[in-house]
Amino acid sequence: MLQTDFEQPQRRLHSLQGGWLLLIAFVSGAMTVASFAPFSLHLLALSGPALLFFLWLYASPRQAFFLGWAYGSGLLGFGVFWMHISIDKFGNVGTLLAIFITLLFVVSVALLYGLVGWCAGYMAKRYGPALALVLFFPLFWVIGEWLRGWLFTGFPWLVLGYSQINSPLAGYAPLAGVYGVSWMLLLSAAFLVLLFKGKGYHKAIAFAVLLLIWGVAIPLKDVQWTRPAGEPIKISMIQANIEQEAKWRPENRRATLKLYTDLTRANWESDLIIWPETAVPAFAHLIEESLLQPLSTEAVEQGSELLIGIPVWNSESGQFYNAMISLGAIRDSYYKRHLVPFGEFMPLKFLLRPLIDWLQIPMSDFTPGEKERPLLQVVGYPAGISVCYEDVFGEEVIQAMPQAAFLINASNDAWFGDSLAPPQHLEIARMRSLETGRYMLRSTNTGISALIGPQGELLAQSPAFEQHVLSGEIIPMSGSTPYAVVGNWLVVSFALLLLFFTLLHARWRIWKKR
């Protein structure tokens, strides 16, 4: 029996001090960070969870909670520590308080990993370690990642599936999205533990399942889910590399606009030119006659179109929006819908208004847009638009499908300096291309601007923190991937149904004994 095979590790684990176990869990979480960009050691996303699964095998629910919390604290503590940069530089709170706020956020979000651990420990105690390992550990983890993606507006950063963008497991993304990739990875981790700790035919089963998971992924990665739907489009993306500290100073506005217009005029041969998020440090109505109308006329004369990031103020409502506006043959606009809490809007504003005034973060009181679908008409095609943080929500990006011929993400990662944030964000954007089978144009202020292919491949990228114009060609695409049709509900529904039938079975066993 598998349960007998696991008894020896149980005795060894309980002979260690609890503090050492927590340290091991914390280090395994920190180690998992290296599986994401820019390191991209994707197999560490397999070994980190596998080590945690081993620790969970015979832990009590309480012990498993703290082990999971320690793992999550290591993962997020090292993986998103860059958050303190924007809080420090632009939040007017000082370095020490910025670090404290970041660490408080990390340990709070890591509680979800603790909750996953508690559920894992409970199931291991109730159903035995072997069944819990291969069935419930991956199941609860994926549900936990999904919950993290929408609770309190969502923070789906460092979802394990992103780390596999360059691995064979990426082949599952067009089928089931990033959470499906996570599940396949976590199943692999579970059966890897079984391979090393099981005996006899259990090792053979584990080896066979691992071969199946990875063997199926390899041909899936080469499947072309979408098809070309037009002639190549030449594009240019303007990366002006303007420091965030200087961007909103009134005395720098003229120089900023001149830099963008000069770089644009040098690239009118492109069909589409894109400026990044809030490239224009002024409300649209203030520069309509002096900049927007002349640029629109010039774009038409040159046979090109221009897409710019700019804040828009509604004089009637007094609200303002983080917008992308197209200038050229057709004037169209998109208002960012999913805003960043505290950075772009203040939750419970009626209570926290003094905090807004104290933080003094530029443009931190946006209103979310109400457009039902994130589409914008450019160069004769509907494009799926996302602004900065919006592209981390795959279920929102696919709302543009199947109409969108390509994807555009305008971003500004200058908030986080020279940290892990820009390469991690680029990795996320690559996953969105792979999930939808669309080219992605990623235009940023300081980098990393990128041209991404429909299978998530990185076709071209700009150097970070340099002034650069990234040019290339894309092809409009049509058709849908399975994920673009069903979204995250394929994985989530399967996980919840599996959990439901398991609980139903448990109740049936109790009833049968009566």
Enzyme catalytic residues: 277, 336, 388
DSSP state of 291: I
Q: Which residues contact 178 (CB under 8 A, 6 or more apart)?
A: 159, 161, 162, 394, 431, 435
> What CA–CA distance (Å, rounded) separates 406 from 318?
33
DSSP string, 223-239: ---SEE-S--EEEEEEE
Strands 440-444 and 450-452: antiparallel
Contact 183, 142 (CB under 8 A): yes
> What CA–CA distance (Å, rounded) separates 358 from 364?
12
Helix (H, G, I), strand (E, B) or coil at 262: helix
Q: Where are the alpha helices (DSSP H) in 368-453?
A: 394-397, 421-436
Query: N- to C-terminal Cα distance for the chain?
Result: 27
What are the structure tokens assigned to 396, written together? 């929102």
Q: Can the peptide bond before residue 448 be classed as cis, meaning omega within 30 degrees of 0?
A: yes
DSSP string, 302-321: TT-EEEEEEEEE-TTT--EE
Based on the number of CB atoms within 10 Å of its own CB, is 262 exposed (0-12), middle (13-18) or buried (19 or more)? exposed
> Angle at the Cα of 246 (from 242 to 251), degrees rounded to 5?
115
Q: Is 351 left (phi over 0), alpha (psi -120 to 50) or beta?
A: alpha
> What CA–CA distance (Å, rounded) separates 502 from 100?
41
Helix (H, G, I), strand (E, B) or coil at 248: coil
> What CA–CA distance (Å, rounded) separates 64 from 71?
10
